[in-house]
Structure 1
Amino acid sequence: MDAYEEMTEKFKTSAESMECYQRYFSKDGKGKKLWKKVKYQLVEYHALPAYLRDNEFILGHYRADWPLKQTLLSIFSIHNETLNVWTHLIGFFLFLSLTIYTATKIPDVVDIHPLQHLPEVLKNADLHKLQAELLTCLPSLPHLPDLQLLREELKTALPSMDMLSSLCSWRVVELLYNCLPERFSLGNQTNDYVLSSVKEEVANMIAPVAMRPITRWPFFAFLGGAMFCLLASSSCHLLSCHSERLSYIMLRLDYAGIAALISTSFYPPVYYTFMCYPFFCSLYMGFITLVGIATILVSLLPMFQSPEYRTFRASLFLGMGLCGIAPILHKLILFWGLPEALHTTGYEILMGIFYGVGALVYAARIPERWMPGKFDIAGHSHQLFHVLVVAGAYTHYRAGLIYLKWRDLQGC
């Protein structure tokens, strides 16, 4: 074994000796080439600087103090953070796709097609009285150039089974928007209205079509929070090995992303559940927002980063999630027996299980604590935590679609 090989064996596992090693081999060209080969090698846990020591059960395959270029390129190499980076990066692109899909396919996503069974129901309806009611609505509408044409269409189409094609015209629906929601309200039991002569099923089908979809911002706030969390986490695991300062910044961003995901996850269920109860809607949304901001502020404290506070970090974020129990129970009290309320609650319980198990696995460092060094590359607790977070967020997305359909079709 020559001198170069002996020095390589002696110093390759010691981060403190790297500087000395570099000086020794910078005296000639051969030494410089050898230094380039070994200075970006992976190191073991005991050779890490203090700021990178987080999990003593992961023994090797660490990156330490790498230049930014090599740090970025390491996304395509194998080390103990590779799957941590990719599990949440793939999750980010998944939710980006879901956001684009939801934004461009909203009517299809929530399945607003209540007229598909209308012909069958109309067989038993008094179409002449329905025609009279619709024509009565027209004077309350603003003057439009084709208002007379609309009246003629209603006179000729409504007494026949062609009524379906007339009502399916979104131009007609838009013209009748100011009238139908009031005259076909399920809460309106006045005998003068069409509900006294036309079956309730007809009103149930016509009224939602005339109503515009409810606001989507709470749903997109959740999607935005999920994407921010996943991208911040992926970036943190990729870049933290560069320097202590960058590691500190990225960890703060990672904690802020987790708090944002948990906080915005409350927005769709709280807003759409209590949209007809403004006091409770504001109370719950305001409370979880304040808790999220407080959590972010706490995460800025330097001690929050220390490995001994791992359980405290997991408990804090788990406590944020438990804040959702109150609005869920309140929802069940208000809407017990309603299929949408029970269905969304099922999804929310499943989401809570994913998040809760993920937090417990992360805090307990399972399974690597049972076999240190065996899960360095794949299968350690942080990777499992990432997968469970993506699964929980997707479960919540499915619940959000049910909320949208429910409120689009029924309003308050």
Structure 2
Amino acid sequence: MTVDTSDTSSTCVSGGEQQLRHRQQQHSASTSPPSIREEHHFEYGVEGESSPGHPCKPQSLAETIRCEVRELKLIAHAHLPEWLKDNDYLHENHRPPIPCVVTCFKSVFSLHSETVNIWTHLIGSLIIVGICFWWFLFRPSHAPYSWQKILVFLAFFVSAVACMTFSWLYHTLYCHSVQMSRLFSKLDYSGISILILGSFVPWLYYGFYCHHTQMLFYISTMILLSVGCIIVSLWDRFSSPIYRPLRTGTFIALGCSGVVPFLHSVVENGLEHTKFPYIITVALLYIAGALIYACRVPERFVPGKLDIWGHSHQIFHVLVVVAAIVHYNGIITMADDRLELGECQA
């Protein structure tokens, strides 16, 4: 269903722009068909009385944003240009191409097919930032963390915030242009590899705390594998819908590469020391999210019914946020255990 605003009588623009538009409309009135305005992808307006000499002048930034997002015209998937088409099972409520960065950001406050995708990772990134500050302020004072321990925790915090920030920026700006879509899709996919790497660093650090050679080997291996995934993500066609299974398989394979150090850690330290329940929970959340995303479930069973709420990409985003929080609790538990055990015996 398209949101039609062709009957609005004024626009949220400056007085000079309003007068210029009015003169252009008068000049072309005799030659333009009445339906010409309906062909525009989007236009802006406000309710209330106004005239060309008295344009709409919102009194605050909030009013300006409400004015513009109210008049954003959404279109059907079938009417999108090819570079904006991604999920065939979402039929309506898509943003048209919006060649203005400011307007793209203002569309964050309107309801469309990307709204929940944007806000799940925007809020998720803020949650991780809050957890990071809480950790710095309230970590145990009786046993100060060394700079190495602080770095490994920062690796997780920074990677999680980077992944979610790249994600919500992509979902905000990809409708701007082909070039913007390609740029931020590469950042989005690279962010997933960064999150996987950043999640492994503290776990490998504490899992092989007394085995420095193995620790450095596994961390170095994960860095190389993650860089390889990032390089693949920079391929232009990687973001194409037809490569959705390849994307999913690539990231699942990167995450599953942790099975080898996990088994090694079990042999060296025992199952309990690996915090097995946390590791399994995080793995299942990430894999479930990736498979839901790849299979486009549940919208494939009810096409056109989940355009705004409840489609696969939104579920994937929520599971990523939950997995990151669970992972944080797991590495905090490993760090607390390490404090109780003390330093390694010579």
Same topology, TM > 0.5: yes
2:297 equivalent to 1:361: no
2:221 equivalent to 1:304: no
Q: Choose between structure 1 and 2 for higher RCO, CA contacts under 8 A separated by at least 6 residues.
A: 1
Mark the runs of 5 or more structure 2 residues left unpaired by the alignment: 1-5, 8-20, 46-70
Aligned length: 289
Partner of 1:391: 322
2:221 equivalent to 1:221: no
Q: Decide which structure has the larger Cα Rg and report it.
A: 1
Q: In 1, Cα distance between the equivalents of 2:238 and 2:196?
A: 18
Deviation at 1:40, TM superposition (A): 3.6
Q: Secondary structure at the match of 1:284?
A: helix
Partner of 1:28: 26
Q: In 1, Cα distance between the equivalents of 2:317 and 2:162?
A: 14
Deviation at 1:345, TM superposition (A): 1.6
Q: What amino acid does structure 1 have at the position aligned with 2:103?
A: Q
Give the TM-score normalised by the residue count of structure 2: 0.78
Q: In 1, Cα distance between the equivalents of 2:24 and 2:245?
A: 45
Q: 1:33 to 1:309 in 2, by over 3 A?
A: closer
64, 74, 78: which one pairs with 1:42? 74
218, 221, 239: which one pairs with 1:287? 221
2:4 equivalent to 1:70: no
Q: In 1, Cα distance between the equivalents of 2:265 and 2:186?
A: 34
Identity of aligned residues (%): 34
Q: In 2, Cα distance between the equivalents of 1:107 and 1:402?
A: 12
Deviation at 1:28, TM superposition (A): 2.6
2:89 equivalent to 1:91: no
Q: In 2, Cα distance between the equivalents of 1:311 and 1:297?
A: 17
Q: In 2, Cα distance between the equivalents of 1:105 and 1:328?
A: 29
Partner of 1:326: 260
73, 87, 97: which one pairs with 1:55? 87
Deviation at 1:408, TM superposition (A): 2.2
CA-atom RMSD in angstroms? 2.5
Deviation at 1:279, TM superposition (A): 1.4
Partner of 2:136: 103
Q: In 2, Cα distance between the equivalents of 1:216 and 1:346?
A: 24
Any conservation in 2 of the 1:62–1:80 contact (CA below 8 Å)?
yes
Any conservation in 2 of the 1:268–1:403 contact (CA below 8 Å)?
no
Any conservation in 2 of the 1:328–1:345 contact (CA below 8 Å)?
no
Q: In 2, Cα distance between the equivalents of 1:42 and 1:81?
A: 11
283, 303, 306: which one pairs with 1:352? 283
Q: 1:212 to 1:382 in 2, by over 3 A?
A: closer
What does the per-residue CA deviation read over 1:57-94, in whole Å, with 9 as the maximum and x for residues that have no partner? Answer: 11111112112222110111000000000000110000
Q: In 1, Cα distance between the equivalents of 2:300 and 2:149?
A: 47
Mark the runs of 5 or more structure 1 residues left unpaired by the alignment: 1-7, 10-22, 113-208
Q: What amino acid does structure 2 have at the position aligned with 1:383?
A: Q
Q: 1:406 to 1:54 in 2, by over 3 A?
A: same
